[in-house]
Amino acid sequence: MTELRAILFDIDDTLCDTTGFARAARRNAVQAMVAAGLKADPELVFTELEEVIAEFSSNYEHHFDKLLLRLPRESLASLNRSLVVAAGVAAYHDTKFRELKTFPGVHELFRDLAAIGIRLGVVTHGLAVKQAEKLVRLGLVPYLDREAVFISDEIGISKPNPKLYQLALRTLALQPAQVMYVGDNPKNDIAPPKKLGMVTVWTARAARTQPSPEETPDHAIRDFEELRALLIAKYGLKLAPTAVTRA
């Protein structure tokens, strides 16, 4: 059995429920815009906002501006457009401050893995500052190997290009079989590292798609306690069998 030396993770819907959080934050933003005077049915506004995000991508920085352009002109009668947008932005970020949290067991597993010398990192798609902010807000930075944070926007390589994973292997100076990758998206997170010979783990908790036969992972888990048990039983890592809850 090859010794496992590093574990890399996706962020969104792997370490935290990004999809669920974003949906809640957008609903709160719409409610705040209506409370600021926007004259429109909140459900219709939310549906329109979802269309804007689908069309311009979640990384676009002016969703609310585009949203207001698509609503009937009378929706903004006698209102200052910038103040309505600001109400939505503030509500979105307030939700982020309150509700963006790791899945249960993540902190405890990261702490215990770092303590036994396993190198921890992320390979994630998205804007550099946006993805880095998530790591900071989730409180995971102290456990990460600073050489093992790979964000597509910083590197110029996006998932599912296997070059992103090859770069991680070269940087860490490890063989593929020494590195595990944990992610939720079969196309982006399982197929590319599996092709390179890395150990692949699909986490089903917040996954939106099932693996195809070509994307079959080495392991499938539902939560981070299952990952802990797998690391103990299959890879011989000296971890406590159950997490100790943080004070």
Q: Where are the domains of the chain?
A: 6-16+101-233, 19-99
Fold of 19-99: DNA polymerase; domain 1 (1.10.150)
Determine the residue type at 92.
Y
Asked whether the predicted pLDDT for residue 246 surpasses 90, the reply is no
Asked whether the predicted pLDDT for residue 132 surpasses 90, the reply is yes
Q: So what's the pLDDT on residue 2?
A: 73
Determine the residue type at 31.
Q
Asked whether the beta carbons of 167 and 120 are under 8 A apart, the reply is no
Distance separating alpha carbons of residues 158 and 177, to the nearest angstrom = 22
pLDDT digits (tens, 9 = 90+) for 73-123: 999 999 999 999 999 999 999 998 888 999 999 999 999 999 999 999 999
Asked whether the predicted pLDDT for residue 25 surpasses 60, the reply is yes
- Please tell me if the domain spanning 6-16+101-233 has the same topology as the one spanning 19-99: no
Hey, which residues does 120 pair with through a beta bridge?
A: 7
Distance separating alpha carbons of residues 118 and 209, to the nearest angstrom = 29
What's the whole-model pTM score?
0.89
pLDDT digits (tens, 9 = 90+) for 133-185: 999 999 999 999 999 999 999 999 999 999 999 999 999 999 999 999 999 99
Asked whether the beta carbons of 74 and 39 are under 8 A apart, the reply is yes
Asked whether the predicted pLDDT for residue 247 surpasses 50, the reply is no
Residue 164 corresponds to which tokens in the numbers above?
């992103």
CB atoms within 10 A of CB 213: 5
Q: To 10 degrees, what angle do helices 42-56 and 63-70 make?
A: 120
Fold of 6-16+101-233: Rossmann fold (3.40.50)
Asked whether the predicted pLDDT for residue 245 surpasses 60, the reply is no
Encode burial over 7-29: b for 16+ CB neighbours within 10 A, e otherwise.
bbbbbbbbbbbbeebbebbbbbb
Encode burial over 115-134: b for 16+ CB neighbours within 10 A, e otherwise.
eeebbbbbbbbbeeeebbeb
Q: So what's the pLDDT on residue 16?
A: 96
Whether the bond between 160 and the residue before it is cis, its omega within 30 degrees of 0, is yes
pLDDT digits (tens, 9 = 90+) for 172-217: 999 999 999 999 999 999 999 999 999 999 999 989 899 998 899 9
pLDDT digits (tens, 9 = 90+) for 38-57: 999 999 999 999 999 999 99
Q: So what's the pLDDT on residue 1?
A: 62
